Amino acid sequence: MQAIRSILVVLEPDRPEGLALKRAKLIAGVTQSHLHLLICDRKGNHADYLSDLADSLKAEGYSVTTQEAWLENLHQTIIAAQQAEGCGLVIKQHVPDNPLKKAILTPDDWKLLRYCPGPVLMVKTDKPWSGGNILAAVDVGNSDGEHRTLHATIVSHGYDIASLAHGTLHVISAHPSPMLSAADPTFQLKETIEARYRDECRAFQAEYDVSDERLHIEEGPADVLIPFVAHKLEAAVTVIGTVARSGLSGALIGNTAEVVLDTLESDVLVLKPEAIIAHLEELVAQR
């Protein structure tokens, strides 16, 4: 996160608590990042609000620009601004859709997570990050090159957040239940599965100083275990990644990140591998 030079902050004037801006100021205060404030609105009548807010932030020592825009929909407006400004992080407050609406329409925040060519921080709470637990969720059962790189990125970002917040980094990986019919004997016993998963974590444990006590290898579905462990730890931030399934044409996010977005009680940082980011950038450029 230290490499982030510019942060896109999605502002919603009808939500006066300003949780996204609060997190952006925390990160920019440490990384010296530029803040680009965006209001997504068809009417374009927030110039005075943005001007006053920018003046206030500049007086506090922040580098700030502002923008009001609207394209076809919310997520495309955000992504266009992110690409135009070269922002290395998007921060937005997340408000869950009601279950009925979500059953009929794909939520805007899910679309942003799917199609944004860069990290997205969804802010869900005003809980202080300072001194809190940071949970990095990895899937070490997938150990191909793309996943290994993504695991390192997830743990690295978790480590950076823990450092800037003077917090404690924890790592979780969910593993499948034992199957006596499994071709690999490792996956026939819970103990051997857990041992395999712990072995896969050794490298980043050493690099990022994650003790065995802070490495949580649990049996069960990731979309259940991640919120459970995050709740148990009272995590301030959960860092999660996604790798596209077969074929990049849809560039669809693995649904774990979408499912846990509403169930997690922490802020959520979602990361993607470079190959997916490059593909999504191409899609944006073609529009």
pTM: 0.90
Q: What tokens appear for 250 in the block?
A: 């849809």
- Confidence tier at 185 by pLDDT (50, 70, 90): low
Rounded-to-integer distance, Cα 223 and Cα 226, Å: 6
Residue with more model confidence, 144 or 186: 144
Poorest-pLDDT segment among 16-30, 183-197, 255-269: 183-197
- Residue 93's contacts (CB-CB under 8 Å, 6 or more residues apart) are 10, 12, 15, 17, 19, 20, 122, 123, 124
Amino acid (1-letter code) at residue 155:
V
Distances (CA, A) of 85 to 12, 79, 170, 173, 186: 19, 10, 33, 35, 48
The predicted-structure confidence for 66-95, as pLDDT tens digits, reads as follows 999 999 899 999 999 999 999 999 999 998
Domains assigned to the chain: 6-93 (3.40.50.620), 133-286 (3.40.50.12370)
β-strands 89-93, 6-11 pairing = parallel
Rounded-to-integer distance, Cα 30 and Cα 247, Å: 38
Strand ranges (DSSP E) for 61-214?
64-69, 89-93, 120-123, 133-137, 168-175
